[in-house]
Amino acid sequence: GENVEQHPSTLSVQEGDSAVIKCTYSDSASNYFPWYKQELGKRPQLIIDIRSNVGEKKDQRIAVTLNKTAKHFSLHITETQPEDSAVYFCAAPWRGGSQGNLIFGKGTKLSVKP
Amino acid sequence: GAVVSQHPSWVICKSGTSVKIECRSLDFQATTMFWYRQFPKQSLMLMATSNEGSKATYEQGVEKDKFLINHASLTLSTLTVTSAHPEDSSFYICSARPLSSGSYNEQFFGPGTRLTVL
């Protein structure tokens, strides 16, 4: 089955700097990799996702890159702002995704200091 | 689009009572809904997968007789925590997978329900 490792567990950056969070997965058949942002006490919100037929996707200050050979994908946030502070989770399909399951990384707590 | 609601947002109950949580996809139909539990400072742990009109699939270690799931329609799933105990106190979050997702495991989350059992 799928296994997802996420690093780092905490990340502190100065406002305006870039932040990068990395995840590795184990199932080469996985085809969909979402990133969720969760603020304290709130729902995880899908911020960006990538399908296995592309290597990079960008949405304003957020980008995700995928390396299928190495089985890892990364979230890149540029020009960070204090409101980017939250916990970020990566995910990948679980058990071949036959029921649409996702397995989540353990999360990265991002702190953006003004 | 892809809005999921969950009700109630928080509930406090006495030990031994049952609590029902509703999850609705408001603007799309969901082939599958998922129920997660999240303890403080931890990741999302899948409890069960729910398909409309069929029995839910429970993850290892999750008691199906304690956490009853009903998926009555393509827009509604309910989780009932029966005979709740203090150790069941947690943040319960549902998610829904749109029919339109095809082979991709998109999921959209509800706002969660904070359950406190006294």
Structure confidence by residue, pLDDT tens digits, B39-71: 998 999 999 999 888 889 999 899 999 999 998
- What percent of chain B clears pLDDT 90, i.e. is strictly above it? 77
Q: Could you report the per-residue pLDDT of A26-68, keeping only the tens digit for each? A: 988 888 999 999 999 999 999 999 998 889 999 999 999 999 9
Q: Which of residues 29-88 of A touch B (CB under 8 A)?
A: 31-32, 34, 36, 41-46, 49, 51
Q: Of the candidates B2, B12, B20, B30, which has an alpha carbon nearest to the alpha carbon of residue B86?
A: B12
C-alpha dist (Å) from residue B82 to A8, B14, B64, B105, B109: 38, 12, 10, 30, 23
Say yes or no: B60 contacts chain A, CB-CB below 8 A.
no
Say yes or no: B114 contacts chain A, CB-CB below 8 A.
yes
Please compute Rg for chain B using Cα positions: 14
Q: What is the pLDDT of residue A98?
A: 58
Element (H, E) at A77: strand A72-77
Residues on chain A touching B101 (C-beta within 8 angstroms): 100
Please count the other Cβ atoms lying within 10 Å of the Cβ belonging to residue A51. Answer: 13
Cα dihedral sign, B24-B28-B34-B37? negative
User: Is there a contact between B32 and A100 if contact means CB atoms under 8 Å apart?
Assistant: yes
Name the E strands within B1-118: 4-7, 10-13, 19-25, 30-38, 45-51, 57-58, 67-73, 76-81, 90-98, 108-109, 113-117
Q: What is the pLDDT of residue A96?
A: 56
